[in-house]
Amino acid sequence: MAEQPLADVIVLFGGTGDLAQKMLFPSLYFLDADGFLADGFAIIATARAEMSREAFIAEVKESVGSRAGPAGLDAKAWARFETRLDYVGADATTPEGAAELKAALGEARIPIFYLALSPSIYGRVCAALSQAGLATPKTRIVLEKPIGRDLASSRVINGAVAEVFPEDSIFRIDHYLGKETVQNLLALRFANTLFEPLWNNLTIDHVQITVAETEGVGDRWPYYDEYGALRDMVQNHMLQLLCLVAMEPPSDMEPDSVRDEKVKVLRSLRPVTRADVQTVSVRGQYTPGVSGGASVGGYEAERGQPTDTETFVALRVDIDNWRWAGVPFFLRTGKRLPERRTQIAIQFKPVPHSIFDGAAKADLAANRLVIDLQPDEDIELLLMNKAPGLSERGMRLQSLPLSLSLAKAYSGPNARRRIAYERLILDVIQNNRTLFVRRDEVERAWEWIDGVAQAWRDSGMAPKPYAAGSWGPAGAFALIERSDRAWYD
């Protein structure tokens, strides 16, 4: 990719909010500490509250400090970072508010406007920026999810932003794409000769994608109850993971080359219909149970009233194209599951004919590639081996992992697990959109998700209860067992 002009200021809208404090300021601090922010790069936070610059800096220092952990802040790095920070108390949806921001931007020529706000006001903020003369061809605008709650509402939001900014100024964040191991999927598939010839329905039996969380919804329910697991996790993070596993090799790493291939996958997803929704999907909602050794309440108690929002989804997804015909993708995600685990498992087919007999024949298991994204980053290829030693019953076979423990491989005094947002913010500064989601991608994903939600409504499918700390409702096991497979728990 040709060298791009670097942005010289980032404005964080919603600068006092949770996302900014927990993720964005710490990411910017770490980027700065590692020398990725140019001299003069400025960081301006804006929100409605009036606050002095000093009070704001004290708040940011606390957030960044708690993210830095026991190592604490590096005094020299913080002193430099602090000089970059400024705060503007303004209502960004009004021309007056945008004008105040303009004054704060000073001489900056290439601004990034990062909207960590409710998407319902994206349109108004963009219009105000435009009125203040801040929407120039050099401006970059970052949008956080959820972009809509369905296709229609996402079109409204995207449409309002598009009235002011062209698509190539827009960076839609899916923070999963900033995770190291997610990007490593591209390296694994396209920087090795080994896997790609096998990456199809001739050799692969099925794929499992699990995003399990132990946390409950807690006080996020006002947002979550409107969305549920399907819209909160599947529409974005899980479909992105599926696309990276399933897409054809892009011709290069240019943003549109990669995004074109992802869109083709989304277009090939078999729609879920009322006729098959009960066999290909499961909705669940957690009830009281035990999580992390402690008794925890159910979602309804957190919500304060009965609700039919799902906190768990399992799906069988079929991709109707040449490469994946007959290879089901099983997806599941949920809150209050027994462990935090984000994992992609590629299950290969068994060997076509076994030359082994006796015990060894029974030992024979098909190969599996397991990509762990969280909490540990690891890639394991399960291979069959001869178990060492002698046995009266003849040779024995055993499945053993060939393991790339990424934490070990990349351990060292300076090794630190980066926040996904560090990569993404740096990409916006450098104007690289490869890891951001294009408008048609978001909309194709919504189209498919709308089909699932509609089929749930049409068939009156309410969430089934599951005890907090379990792997979801019994139906999730039945869903995969129906095709003679099982979840890897």
The question of whether 353 is a catalytic residue gets the answer no
Work out how close the CB of 97 gets to ligand BG6 at its nearest, in angstroms, rounded to a whole number. Answer: 27
Cα–Cα distance, 304 to 306 (Å, whole number):
7
Q: The tokens of 295 are what? A: 């008794």
In the bound state, the residue with its beta carbon closest to ligand BG6 is 232
Work out how close the CB of 335 gets to ligand BG6 at its nearest, in angstroms, rounded to a whole number. Answer: 7
DSSP states of 217-237 as a string? -GGGHHHHHHHHHIIIIIIII
Ramachandran region of residue 247, left (φ > 0), alpha (ψ -120 to 50) or beta? beta
Q: Taking CB under 6 A as the criterion, which residues in 226-245 touch ligand BG6? A: 232
Closest CA to 22 of 71, 59, 73, 75: 59
The values of phi and psi at residue 325, to 5°, are -55, 125
Work out how close the CB of 208 gets to ligand BG6 at its nearest, in angstroms, rounded to a whole number. Answer: 17
Closest CA to 402 of 202, 204, 209, 194: 194
**20 or 90, CB closer to ligand BG6?**
20
Work out how close the CB of 241 gets to ligand BG6 at its nearest, in angstroms, rounded to a whole number. Answer: 11
Work out how close the CB of 233 gets to ligand BG6 at its nearest, in angstroms, rounded to a whole number. Answer: 6
**374 or 430, CB closer to ligand BG6?**
374
Q: In what order do the strands lie in the sheet with 312-317?
A: 397-405, 378-386, 368-374, 341-348, 204-212, 329-334, 312-317, 281-287, 464-467
Q: The tokens of 252 are what? A: 């290069």
Q: Taking CB under 6 A as the criterion, which residues in 370-409 touch ligand BG6? A: 374
Work out how close the CB of 211 gets to ligand BG6 at its nearest, in angstroms, rounded to a whole number. Answer: 7
List, in order, residues 6 or more apart from 442 with CB less than 8 Å away: 147, 148, 154, 158, 172
Q: Taking CB under 6 A as the criterion, which residues in 331-350 touch ligand BG6? A: 342
Q: The tokens of 108 are what? A: 């900056």
**340 or 386, CB closer to ligand BG6?**
340
Work out how close the CB of 143 gets to ligand BG6 at its nearest, in angstroms, rounded to a whole number. Answer: 13
Counting contacts by CB under 6 A, is residue 310 touching ligand BG6? no
**46 or 342, CB closer to ligand BG6?**
342
Find residue 172's DSSP bridge partners: 143
**226 or 252, CB closer to ligand BG6?**
226
Cα–Cα distance, 150 to 165 (Å, whole number):
22
Cα–Cα distance, 195 to 199 (Å, whole number):
6
Give how many residues touch ligand BG6 by CB under 6 A.
4
Among the listed residues 213, 225, 318, 377, the single contact to ligand BG6 using CB under 6 A: 213
Q: Taking CB under 6 A as the criterion, which residues in 117-146 touch ligand BG6? A: none
**52 or 66, CB closer to ligand BG6?**
66
Spatial contact of 320 and 238, defined as CB atoms under 8 Å apart: no
Catalytic residue among 175, 206, 237, 353: 237
Name the one residue in this structure whose structure tokens are 């060894």. 360
Q: What does each C-alpha distance from 414 to 13, 281, 346, 407 come to in angstroms?
A: 32, 44, 32, 12
**281 or 342, CB closer to ligand BG6?**
342
Spatial contact of 380 and 346, defined as CB atoms under 8 Å apart: no
Closest CA to 417 of 370, 372, 371, 377: 377
Cα–Cα distance, 282 to 478 (Å, whole number):
9
Work out how close the CB of 179 gets to ligand BG6 at its nearest, in angstroms, rounded to a whole number. Answer: 7
Name the one residue in this structure whose structure tokens are 């804006």. 46
Work out how close the CB of 84 gets to ligand BG6 at its nearest, in angstroms, rounded to a whole number. Answer: 26
Spatial contact of 364 and 354, defined as CB atoms under 8 Å apart: yes
**15 or 216, CB closer to ligand BG6?**
216
**135 or 243, CB closer to ligand BG6?**
243
Cα–Cα distance, 349 to 312 (Å, whole number):
29
Cα–Cα distance, 148 to 236 (Å, whole number):
11
Residues that bind ligand BG6 (CB under 6 A): 213, 232, 342, 374
Q: Catalytic residue positions?
A: 237
